Every structure is written in C-alpha cells, then in structure tokens.
Structure 1
C-alpha cells in the first residue's frame, strides 16, 4: 500500500493545484528537484566541466537506474533529449531501401507517423497500418497476417497513445516480431512510470520514453533502449556523434560497443541526475504498486464522469491506462480546460490533428479534453474535479 501522505509531502505542487495532467508533464518530487538544483549550483560554483567530473559516478547511475526500470543492463541504455529524439535516432539507424515496409497501427503518436511519412517521401518506403479490433486496439491477428505476407523491415507500435487510455498488446506483437526476425520499435512514452515495462517480455529492439510524464522527471530528458540484436548488428544513428564513435582515420570511424553510440557528447547533466532520481523514486515505490493505484483512480474517475449528462468518454480497449478523454456538446474542450484551470485544476487537450486516424474512427471532428491522474492524486481531488466539471457544464 502506498504511503500517500509521504508521497504528497514530497510533492510541493499539490499545495497549489490539483494536477491531473500527468500525461503531459507530472509534478516532480523533491528528490528530483533537489538533484537538478543542486547540480546547477555546483556548475555555478565550480564550472560545468568540473561539476560533471566531480559527479561522474552519480551520472553513471542514470544508466543503471534506467536499466533497473526496464529489466535490462546499463549498456543497453542511451540518454536523449526527449522521446521523439530517441525515436528519430532509432529510425535513422535502420538502412531503409525503396519498397521496404513499416508496419504500424492506427493509434500512434503524431510525430511517429510524420517520421514514417517523411521516410516514405524521401526513400520510397511503404507505410502500412494494421486494423483495429472491434473493441479497440490493434488486431494481433491482422498484425500477424501482415507480418507474414509483407515481411516488414520494421514494426512500430505505441504502447499507450497520447490521445487515449488504450494499452496496446506490445508483448504479443513482440513475440511475432521475434518469430519472424523483424525489427521492433516501441514508443513507451506514456507507459513507463505508470505501468511495469519489461523489455525482456516485450522483445523489442528499440524502446523510447521521456521523463516529464508519468516518471515525474524533468523536461528535456528521455532515453532509448536498444537490444543485443541492435548492438550486434552494428546499427548506429545516421548522424553519429563523437560520443558514439571513435574517428579512426580520415575516412573511417568505429561506433562504440554500447547503446551510447546513440548519444550526443553534450548533456544537461543536471537533468540527467534528476532523471536518475526519478527512476529511483518510481522503483522505490514499486511499479506494480503504482499501476494498482492508477487503476483505482481511473476507474473512480471514469465511473463518476460517465454519470454526467452529455459527457462522452472516448477511450476504447480491453485494457485502459491512466488517461481518459472526453467530449461534450455543452462546451468545447478548450473552454472546459480553461475553466478548470481557473479553479487550479490542471488538465490538457487532445486535438484531432494529433490523432486523425483514431479520431476519424471515433467520428470525432473536434478537440477532446484529456485527464490523466497519477498515484499521488487523492480520491478527494477526483471528487473535486468531477464536481467542478459538473458545475462548468451547467
């Protein structure tokens, strides 16, 4: 059981707002804040290079703590600026040729889809999307059929879309990719920190995530996991940096043997240390405990919201995460968000242009309100949110 009073005492922001925008950026706990501000002060007093040298061992702790989060080892972890940065580095390492197939889903992150379309435009790859099951979420059977017949160069799935509480069956798809020897890229931006994520069960070759969301870390930090398969195959980012390779001679370079071949030399080390603390904070609480608490909160929230007249909940799928989206004909999502913010309740928006395939499938032409509680929220905060929303809609 979580010690909610201690968790909230660790979270200065709860004194000022009801924060249910954790799918956007969560409230950081004190250990994360202290790690960041402490290193900034050290840089101010000693110099940036000197501060990094002094905290070298602590900085290396980032890799081990991230590995512990995913059930892997430190040499499979690369630090990146954000999840999209990690995703682009992974994509750039794959030697696509004209006619290669990228197999993906309808429920995906907009930046991922834009990257696929850019590859399609420049290199002539084909972007194919598996269909959804009637209950929501990608059809594993259709995915299997398309893998068998199309033999894609890459399968790419978003674990939890930014615009929905849907949880995709990434483990089942990973087994298919392993069986047919297909590269597998998983966007875990919304799942790491709110669910247990085990790369040995997912069987992915790449996994990307950010820190600002459910991990409760700083903005400006993400990570990339790469598998043994990637390292042994010597895949490396197209624009490799001196951090990731050694310059052997005028026309030759050699990538480093670890996932750090995907990194840049320059880092915001204060954020690296903050991210390491965010990892440890989540691990100390326990991902299973976090997931259990989040399920309780989202079930309470969805039950209460479903009782409000005129409110339509949009989330589909057999398994739902700690993200809820809704619309109502009574007021626009933008108006509701602004009215809630005036009451010091933080939510966010899920615009149609960020998920046009999913929104078209749901018959949506407008922006939805996105609500994403996390384990440090209370039942009283959920009740206050619903009562405030009820008052706004009247």
Structure 2
C-alpha cells in the first residue's frame, strides 16, 4: 500500500509539474507526461510554429495524432493538422478539421479565424462578425490580429450596421475597438461613419475619442472631413475665426481645432481655470524656446486680425514670445511679437494674410530663448483671430 501510494504520488506530482511547465516549455512537459493529450497538443503546435511543414509523417503531425488519441478534444492538435491540410491543398479536409475544432472550443483563435474567413468567402457578414465577437471575447491575443481587419472594413455600410448591433450589447471588447478605430488611422472615414450612425442608436462615444479621430484626419491632411466631424460635436464652431478666445475649455483630450499646448514639457505651458473662464500660463526656462500653444485653422483666403490680452509678460524686445500663422505646407502667413503686459493694458494685436492656395493653417504662440535668469513667464488671458471687415466691393 505504501509503495502504491508512493507511485501514485509520483505520477500525480509529475502530471501537475508538466501542466505548469507546458506553458513555457512544452517539449520538457511532454517528456515528463507523454500520455497527456493537452500537453502533446501544445508540443505539436510549438513544433509546427518553429518549422511549419505539410508532411503527414512529420514530427508535428505525429505529436498531434498522439495528442488526439489521448484526448480527442485537444483542439491545438486539430489546428496543426488543419493547417497542414491547407498547406497540402486539401481544402475539404482542412474545412472538416477546423469545423470540428470550432465546435469543440470557442477559445482556440486560429480555427476561429478560419471560420471568419469562410464566412467572408460566403459573403455572410453576420456570421463573420459573430465569429469576430466570439474570438474577441475568448482570446486575449485576438485584438492584435482582428482589430486592424475589422477597422479596415468600416467603410462598408452593411458591416457597420451589423457591427453596431453587436456593440449595442456592450461586449467586453467594445470600448477597446472603438478606441482603436478612433486612433489607429486605419480607416478614419469609416470610423466617423460608425460613430455618427452609432449616435443615432444610442452608442455613446466619448469626446476624447471624437477629438482623437479629428486629429487623425488632420494628420492625414483630410481637413474637410476633420472639420465636418468636429462640427458634429461643436456645432457653433466657425471656420473663419479661431475658437475658444478665453481659454475656457477644460479638457485633457483636445482636437487640433482647439487650443493645444506644445509637447515640450520644459516650456511649462498649461491652460488653467480662471474664474468662469481660463488662461494660458507659461514659464519658460532661460535659453529655451519653442511652441507654447497652437490651434489648427481652415481660414478662407483674406486678411485676419489677432487680438488679445496678456498679463505678467516683461521681457526685452528680442526675447518676447511671438504669434505666427503657418500654412500646412510650411509657408508663413505672418508673425508679430507680443508687447510687454505693461503696455496698452496688456492688449496686443497683429495682422495676417491668408493666400488663396493655403487651405489649412496653424496659429501658434512661440517662445524665444531668453538670457534672463528667471526665463520668460506670463499669461495669455484672451486671444482670438478674426476676419478683417473690408469696405463693400473691396478685395482681400
């Protein structure tokens, strides 16, 4: 009895150890427990991944058959045999194997991808998306494989309609996919259509994702599409002038058509709350310069005037920040330096001329490097770019 207990304990311990090792070293696990079908299947899949082969008498095929003899539900072994059949051109056999695999398990990703492909070949959008849903629900690695393909398909109205039906059920992968569609740049126009249509059926898409999608469109120079979508959640915005003159918007995620501080953390620029409105506060170290804040514009050709008010700026003329309007192709449409805040009550004004062949521009406040030991500090309380009103009949 003692000897039997010892033998039983050995095999029990070896089996448990093999299951643990199989996650990182299937070959060693198989050596410890060669009769375990699940471990044999993992080893077969590893061997096939390292050296894919179509041969029916190859090591991966032999391991897969051994795994299925020990455990007919070892789906990883079926995956190996299915791919080998595909490589040999045995389509019907591969279809039977993968069909059996998907019936056995919802968690095996590769057979699920096969099911998606077969549904696409049949033109069965609903079944393809059903398998997408299953794969994304059950596999941690599915998103990396399936999000790009699903996002690329958003240009198709039928796919968007069926996908919205699934998203309405709030699947665990839904938020992740919406974020991917908004930020990846794979098919931004399709993402815009999905978000617009989703809004009609109650799909809530945060303004942060809306802003991210606008920025993707701007980065791809799709300015008209970006503006049209921006207007859908900022209906009062006008394209012939800048927006948010009092820096009142308090949001972490901003669209390119909003004020956005520069990316250089050394410049210490921030949009802060000030009473009911806001302000731009900046503190630039000595001998440092760069963009403090910017806003993308789609100004029609003509003359424009930038007006605003500052506080706390006190610098020599050569180290004062300046405003510049730059065309998307790099041409400057004008620039002017800020006066110190003790001049004219801190009010400033400057003029720009937008050329006929410049469809998109960026208005920026840029800090110049200063030799002052305190650097450059100040606040912009207001800033707005407006069209210059010309006499009737005159040309801009």
TM category, shorter = under 0.3
Q: Which has the higher contact order (CA 8 A, sep 6+)?
A: 1
What is the TM-score of this pair, normalised by structure 2? 0.18
Higher Cα Rg, which structure: 2
What is the TM-score of this pair, normalised by structure 1? 0.18
